[in-house]
């Protein structure tokens, strides 16, 4: 499995504004005692749900107009650790009512750091600001902490696959 990677995904001004928002004081972050599984002792993160199947938050449509038919849009903030902490392999959609193969997962990295996303086949994608990586939702992956910045921030998108054959443009 090779993920699709797009560097400089957003226009520079748009990305700069997103960074100001995400790394500033306006976004509320919520403590999560686990990252991937309940037995992940000594691992925690802060999250912000932009969209979770309900009403769009104040930023969702304005910031994420490039995502159609979202299932979930969630930001993760992982504090620096003294050594890289590696998560467990997982998929983002586990609900039995949904077919993960009908969805796509993308990650937008908000800041550059020495953390990364790793896939079960060993592929690693470095956390580079404004990098957008896309892969099938059923693909197992895991994230890490970082050691070189105060925080590692990314935005995780789960959305319905786009049928490229239906584009009439």
- Tokens representing 92? 């983002």
Q: Which residues of the chain have pLDDT under 50?
A: 164-169
What CA–CA distance (Å, rounded) separates 46 from 66?
24
pLDDT number for residue 168: 37
Which residue is it, tokens 């930023």? 59
pLDDT number for residue 9: 96
Q: Among candidates 147, 142, 158, 121, which has minimal Cα distance to 36?
A: 142
- For the entire predicted model, the pTM comes to 0.86
pLDDT number for residue 15: 94
**Tens of pLDDT along 80-111?**
999 999 998 988 887 655 665 688 999 999 99
pLDDT number for residue 32: 77
| Residue partners of 130: CB distance under 8 A and separation at least 6 | 7, 8, 9, 10, 15, 108, 109
pLDDT number for residue 99: 61
Query: Which neighbouring-strand residues pair with 18?
Result: none
pLDDT number for residue 67: 79
pLDDT number for residue 80: 95
pLDDT number for residue 121: 95
pLDDT number for residue 156: 94
Which alpha helices (DSSP H) does 72-149 contain, by range? none
pLDDT number for residue 124: 97
pLDDT number for residue 55: 62
pLDDT number for residue 169: 36
- Tokens representing 78? 């992982």
Contact 35, 44 (CB under 8 A): yes
H/E run at residue 71: strand 70-79
Identify the structural domains of the chain with CATH numbers, from first to last: 4-161 (2.60.120.330)
């Amino acid at each position: 499995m090779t993920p699709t990677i797009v560097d400089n995904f957003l226009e520079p001004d748009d990305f700069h504004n997103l960074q100001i928002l995400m790394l500033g004081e306006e976004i509320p972050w919520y403590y999560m005692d686990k990252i991937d599984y309940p037995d992940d002792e000594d691992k925690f993160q802060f999250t912000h749900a932009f969209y979770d199947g309900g009403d769009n938050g104040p930023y969702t449509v304005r910031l994420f107009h490039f995502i159609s038919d979202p299932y979930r849009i969630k930001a993760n903030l992982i504090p620096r650790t003294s050594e890289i902490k590696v998560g467990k392999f997982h998929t983002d959609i586990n609900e039995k009512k949904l077919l993960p193969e009908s969805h796509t997962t993308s990650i937008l990295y908000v800041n550059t750091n020495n953390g990364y996303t790793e896939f079960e086949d060993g592929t690693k994608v470095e956390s580079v600001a404004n990098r957008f990586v896309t892969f099938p939702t059923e693909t197992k992956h895991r994230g890490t902490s970082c050691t070189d910045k105060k925080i590692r921030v990314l935005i995780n998108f789960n959305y319905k696959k786009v049928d490229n054959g239906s584009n009439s443009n």
